[in-house]
Amino acid sequence: MNFVFATLLWVAGSTLVALSFQQVARANPDERIPMAWGRPRHHPGEAYAYRAIAFLLWGFAVVTWGEVLGLWSVLLIFVGAIPTGVLNVRHNRRIQARISPPQS
């Protein structure tokens, strides 16, 4: 039962991180968002709260999964962040396509 609960926490954390990125992307519709380091020009304060809650949920999931998976449970945080990375790449490519002229 703990494994299922940890999985639900992990899904909720991944969803909150994706939602926080969507807020940042909406606040910066015409600007690239840094992939790992840096800060976009406009950064809504709610995104910080969503990310803090998401990291807490991921932390609880790792502790609970640690009983079954051991240290491998930490790697699942990175797996949970993949959708946000995909959203970031898609946003930046859309911005780049608007900026650069079409190649012929």
DSSP symbols for 82-96:
HHHHHHHHHHHHHHH
> Tokens 């991944």 identify what position?
14
pLDDT of 102 strictly over 80:
no
Whether residue 85 is contained in a domain is answered as yes
**Cα separation, 92 vs 95, whole angstroms:** 5
**Cα separation, 17 vs 48, whole angstroms:** 10
Segments forming the whole domain that contains residue 22 = 2-99
- Residue among 45, 23, 43, 17 nearest 91 (CA): 23
Whether residue 73 is contained in a domain is answered as yes
The total number of structural domains in the chain stands at 1
Tens of pLDDT, residues 53-95: 999 999 999 999 988 888 888 898 899 999 999 999 999 999 9
**78: its two tokens:** 């990175």
Rg, the chain, Cα only? 16
Q: How confident is the model at residue 1 (pLDDT cuts 50, 70, 90)?
A: low
pLDDT of 52 strictly over 70:
yes
Please state, for a pLDDT cut of 70, what percent of the chain lies above it: 95
Whether residue 104 is contained in a domain is answered as no
